[in-house]
């Protein structure tokens, strides 16, 4: 299983991307929530991935956050929801917004999504109700998600680690903005931040 790709964004034709990883071009399908935060062509990019294997194709899907990938994987377990519909749902509603729909049994919002009828909306709410907190703990509990520009895996992990230590989201974002994060590991980012705030 391919867990993530780190390379150069070589082609962008939403929802399709090609990421050049050491001379090998990986084609991915991504939700619009990921497309909105992609860098310019020729820039470095890192995406979490999920591989779907079918008799006639192997399709690699890409995501900018673990929450997006977690919701995608959970949606695939819902009867009648395939990869295409799961990607459409992620393109039409945020992770936090979807979690709120499930908690509030808000079928009206879900049926506005392309490809989601009333029966599918009811099935989504029923099937996701018991697993939404486990799959998407931050969204399900109403926590503030990482800001939109917190997208690289190490930076996102550092953001979540600092939140778990009790820092507020806005405060955490400022702390991360004050240190070098590009190309750094999660541990290095945390080390820089904690050194900067140490008395």
Contact 85, 77 (CB under 8 A): no
- Is it the case that residue 146 has pLDDT exceeding 60? no
Q: What is the pLDDT of residue 171?
A: 80
pLDDT, one tens digit per residue, over 1-52 is 788 999 999 999 888 999 999 999 999 999 988 888 889 999 999 999 999 9
Whole-number Å distance between alpha carbons of 58 and 28: 10
Contact 14, 44 (CB under 8 A): no
- Is it the case that residue 93 has pLDDT exceeding 60? yes
Same domain, 120 and 84: yes
Structure token pair of residue 126: 């029923």
Q: φ, ψ for residue 100 (rounded to 5)? A: -65, -40
| Chosen domain end from 140, 170, 185 | 140
Same domain, 125 and 96: yes
CATH number at residue 176: 1.10.8.10
Q: Which of 9-13, 91-95, 180-184 has the lowest mean pLDDT?
A: 180-184
CATH number at residue 134: 1.10.150.20
CATH number at residue 46: 2.40.50.140
* Inside any domain, residue 147: no
Number of domains in the chain: 3
Name the 3-class secondary structure at 147: coil
* Inside any domain, residue 145: no
- Measured over the CA atoms of residue 155, residue 150, residue 69 and residue 63, the dihedral's sign is negative
Q: Enumerate the β-bridge partners of residue 62.
A: 49
Q: Enumerate the β-bridge partners of residue 53.
A: 58
Q: What are the CB-based long-range contacts (under 8 Å, 24+) for 78-87?
A: 78/123, 78/124, 78/127, 78/128, 79/123, 79/127, 80/120, 80/123, 81/120, 81/123, 81/124, 83/52, 83/59, 84/115, 85/115, 85/116, 85/120, 87/15, 87/29, 87/30, 87/31, 87/61
Same domain, 114 and 125: yes
Same domain, 24 and 76: no
Same domain, 74 and 136: yes
* Inside any domain, residue 146: no
Q: Note down the domain range covering 27.
A: 4-63
Same domain, 15 and 56: yes
* Inside any domain, residue 24: yes
Indicate the pLDDT class of residue 87, thresholds 50, 70 and 90.
Answer: very high
Same domain, 28 and 94: no
Whole-number Å distance between alpha carbons of 93 and 116: 12
Whole-number Å distance between alpha carbons of 12 and 25: 12
Rg (CA), the chain: 18
pTM above threshold 0.85: no
User: Over the chain, what is the mean pLDDT?
Assistant: 84
- Is it the case that residue 123 has pLDDT exceeding 70? yes
Structure token pair of residue 175: 């702390």
* Inside any domain, residue 193: yes
């Amino acid at each position: 299983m391919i867990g993530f790709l780190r390379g150069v964004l070589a082609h962008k034709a939403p929802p399709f991307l090609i990421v050049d990883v050491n001379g090998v071009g990986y084609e991915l399908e991504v939700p619009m929530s990921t497309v909105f935060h992609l860098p310019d062509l020729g820039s470095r990019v890192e995406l979490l991935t999920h591989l779907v294997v079918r008799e006639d194709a192997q399709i690699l899907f890409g995501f900018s956050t673990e929450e997006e990938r977690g919701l995608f994987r959970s949606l695939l377990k819902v009867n009648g929801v395939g990869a295409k519909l799961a990607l459409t749902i992620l393109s039409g509603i945020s992770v936090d917004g979807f979690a709120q729909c499930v908690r509030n049994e808000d079928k009206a919002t879900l049926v506005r999504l392309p490809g989601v009828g009333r029966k599918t909306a009811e099935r989504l709410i029923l099937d996701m109700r018991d697993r939404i907190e486990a799959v998407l703990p931050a969204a399900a509990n109403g926590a503030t998600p990482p800001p939109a520009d917190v997208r690289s895996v190490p930076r996102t992990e550092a953001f979540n680690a600092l939140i778990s230590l009790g820092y507020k989201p806005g405060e955490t974002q400022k702390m991360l903005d004050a240190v070098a994060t590009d190309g750094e590991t999660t541990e290095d980012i945390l080390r820089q931040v904690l050194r900067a705030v140490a008395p």
